Amino acid sequence: MNLKALILLPLALSACAMARPVSAPLVGSEWRFNQIDGAEPVRKNARLTFHPDRLSANVGCNGMGGEWRINKGRLIAGPFMSTQMWCEGVMDQERALGTLLASNPVLTVKVKGKAMTLKGEGHSALLTRTN
């Protein structure tokens, strides 16, 4: 290995280490569900939040959360933990969201401005960024 390569190698490695992951723009963002499988959420407080190392979702009753990352425009998430309360009228949307988020790695994520579309495993969601 020549001297020039020895000098440039640490610089190249440090540049790679400092590169922001693709998911970085989503970290710390919170999204309100506008539609789940084409229908308005049963409860208006339905949210999806991207924390640095996990995401959390709530359609208005049970909370669910798990690890996440974006790879080539696809959300890879889970395994998920969830509370298990019974809430009238919300359960179908919670099951759809759980299936959607766990549909690894086929879930596609498209973000345009403050709008996000999630699609996978026969389910979809439209969201609006709230922060």
72 to 52, 109, 116, 124, 125: CA distances (angstroms): 18, 10, 16, 18, 19
What CATH number corresponds to the domain at position 100?
2.40.128.270
Please check whether residue 87 lies inside any domain of the structure: yes
Reported as a single tens digit per residue, the pLDDT across 25-39 is 899 999 999 999 999
pTM assigned to the model: 0.77
Q: Residue 17's pLDDT band (boundaries 50, 70, 90)? A: very low
pLDDT in tens, 53-97: 899 999 989 999 999 998 888 888 888 898 988 888 889 999 999
Q: 76 forms bridges with which residues in the sheet?
A: 69
| Residues of the domain holding 108 | 22-129
User: What is each CA distance from 110 to 10, 74, 92, 128, in whole angstroms?
Assistant: 35, 9, 24, 12
Most confident of 6-10, 22-26, 123-127: 123-127
Per the domain annotation, does 85 fall within a domain? Answer: yes
**Per the domain annotation, does 17 fall within a domain?**
no
Give how many domains the chain has, as a whole number: 1
| 95 falls within a domain | yes
